[in-house]
Amino acid sequence: MDYTPLFKPASLAVVGVSLANDRHPANVIYNKIHLRYPVTAYPVNPRGGVFKREQVFRSIADVPGPVDLAVVAVRAELVPETLAECIRSRVGGAVIVSGGFAEVGRADLQERITAMAREAGFPFIGPNCLGVYAPGYFDTFFLPGERLVRPSPGKVGFVSQSGGVLVDQMVKFTEQGLGLSLAVSIGNKALIRETDLLGYLSRDPDTQVIAFYVEGFGRNEGRRFVELAAAISKPVVVLKAGKTAEGIRAVSSHTASLAGDYKVFSDVLAQHGIAEARNEFELTCFCESLSHYPRGIEGRVGVITVSGGHGALVSDILSDLGLRLPRLSEGVQAEMRAGLSPSIREIASLVNPVDLTGSSTDEDFEAAVGALGRSPEVDCLLLLLLPYSPGISSDLGARLSYVHQQTGKPLVAYVPHVEKYRILIEGFELNNVPVASSIDGAAYMVEAMRRCKPCSLPTQ
């Protein structure tokens, strides 16, 4: 099946637009696309008429010209005929936002539309979903445009069984400054499933990281998903629901999914270098980190800070995650010390974490990052920057990014995310260095790289 009409349509029809209820989901979708996006949108309702001075077509067959995508927002029992009409009219694909299928016990109705589509080679997303968000191009969410938080175009493709989780994650991505290439809410995933979208996004030139919120798989589908994820070159991040008995029950009632054995699934993800996030916060951190550094690391971290307390806090967090802070050799310490300002040369602690003290300057950070970047004793650098230190300038982010580019070693920074420090943060971000808004967030960014390195399987 060709998925292009689903994600890059030139025209679409919204089926179910009401002439009497402007809060109807179809109206919300149509109004938003018609007024805010470049895609041509047509309203469809069997009664016809005029909606906000635009002709309402009685059927998709009456729409002038080709229709790439149908957004279906009608009662569940009307969906089969709507789908049949789409197929007869050679529509490219559909997003079925309508609920009332397997999630409420109507597996027969869901199987009916799935069989129709499969026989005709007609792709559709859903049912019981929000559908597609393509940044700057269109979205099929039945959420008012003024309430929707829209991440900017970016490198992360995100697939979610839950529309609510997807929308909430879009808020978190925006807060972190993380962009999306594509976001898809698949709901009951009657036809197009995670494995299908994994293949599509692996070929999408705009996507560098692929993330999933997963509730459950069909029989043997989880194994197939892991095999495909492990075979592609892009990093894959998974947030799994249904880890407990209570979660499994919630999953079943939400999208009629089989949650499966969580521990087995989690172990297999780790073995194959697929990064499992334990919560939404980790998912955001992992996606940002891996969009900059897609390759795996061993997990030896060099920490540089101006605060011994921050160094102690992050040491605990890194150790709990299974990351290591190796004690730096005398040779690396000597190289670092030689580049430091005379005022801190004798008081800085250089064993790891490297505490440059509150008297350090930009030049001291450059010396420390350069020495650790060249050292084979660590494979990732984590900077804890406190911009209130008097010797640190707003140019430090850009200056350290330049040093980082010379060594090529992954670098993650923590800087408090407030407007006062925006220039410092942008100095990193504009040079492709991820910046966390918290200490634990920075640690999770490092952990993401380690989780993307396949585990050594035990010998038989």
Of 3-17, 153-167, 257-271, 364-378, least confident by mean pLDDT is: 257-271
Report yes or no on 132 lying in a domain: no
- The candidate with the shortest Cα–Cα distance to 284, out of 384, 166, 133, is 166
Angle between helices 439-451 and 308-320 (to 10 degrees): 40
User: Same structural domain for residues 413 and 309?
Assistant: yes
300 and 283 within one domain: no
* Per-residue confidence (pLDDT) for residue 147, from 0 to 100: 85
Residues 309 and 276 in one domain: no
One domain, residues 279 and 260: yes
Percentage of the chain modeled with pLDDT above 90: 84
- Indicate whether 255 and 362 sit together in one domain: no
Answer whether residue 263 shows pLDDT above 70: yes
188-209 pLDDT, tens digit each: 999 999 999 999 999 999 999 9
Inter-residue contact 258 to 218 (CB < 8 Å): yes
Tokens of 116: 């129709």
Residue 459 lies in a domain: no
Q: Are 324 and 317 in contact (CB under 8 A)?
A: no
Does 134 fall in a domain?
A: no
Q: 69: closest CA among 158, 149, 138, 152? A: 138
- 12 phi/psi in degrees, rounded to 5: -150, 155
pLDDT (0 to 100) of residue 252: 52
CA of residue 135 relative to chain centroid, distance: 13
When mean pLDDT is compared over 141-145, 220-224, 262-266, 317-321, the highest value belongs to 317-321
Q: What is the CA radius of gyration of the chain?
A: 25
* Residue 398 near residue 425, CB atoms below 8 Å: no
pLDDT category, 243, cuts 50, 70, 90?
A: confident
More confident residue, 37 or 247: 37
CA gap 437, 419 in Å, rounded:
12
Which pLDDT value is given to residue 459? 36
pTM listed for this prediction: 0.91
In a domain, 460, yes or no: no
Q: How confident is the model at residue 250 (pLDDT cuts 50, 70, 90)?
A: low
Q: Is the dihedral of CA 189, 192, 198, 204 positive or negative?
A: negative
Q: In the 8-state DSSP scheme, what is residue 124?
A: E
The answer to the question of residue 457 being in a domain is no
Look up residue 454 and give its DSSP letter: P
pLDDT over 80 at 460, yes or no: no
Task: Work out the average pLDDT over 263-283.
Answer: 93
| DSSP, res 218 | -
Task: Say if residue 295 is exposed, middle or buried (CB neighbours under 10 Å; 0-12, 13-18, 19+).
Answer: exposed
Q: Check whether residue 301 and residue 264 sit in a common domain.
A: no
From residue 332, alpha-carbon distances to 169, 325, 329, 378 in Å are 41, 14, 5, 11
pLDDT at position 163 over 80 = yes
Assess whether 266 and 303 both reside in one domain. no
52, pLDDT greater than 90: no
pLDDT at 254 over 90: no
Q: Which domain covers residue 169, as residue numbers? A: 149-292
Domain boundary among 91, 107, 124: 124
DSSP tally for the chain: helices H, then strands E: 16, 19
Helix (H, G, I), strand (E, B) or coil at 152: coil
Give the CA dihedral 57, 59, 65, 66, nearest 10 degrees: 140
pLDDT in tens, 430-455: 999 999 999 999 999 999 999 987 75
Over range 391-411, report the average pLDDT: 94
Amino acid code (one letter) for 52 = K
The number of domains in the chain is 3
CATH number at residue 21: 3.40.50.720
Is there a single domain that holds both residue 325 and residue 430? yes
**What pLDDT digit, counting tens, does each position of 59-112 carry?**
999 999 899 999 999 999 999 999 999 999 999 999 999 999 999 999 999 999
Residue 91 lies in a domain: yes
Q: Are residues 302 and 409 in the same domain?
A: yes
Pairing of strands 138-139, 131-134: antiparallel
Whether residues 286 and 304 share a domain: the answer is no
For strands 69-72 and 93-96, give the pairing: parallel
User: 185 and 110 in one domain?
Assistant: no
Q: Write down which residue in 258, 292, 326 finishes a domain.
A: 292
Three-class SS of residue 329? Answer: coil
pLDDT given for residue 170 in this prediction: 96
Q: Same structural domain for residues 286 and 153?
A: yes
- Residue 303 has what DSSP assignment? E
Average pLDDT in the chain: 92
Domain of 331, CATH number, reads 3.40.50.261
Round to whole Å and give the CA distance between 382 and 64: 57
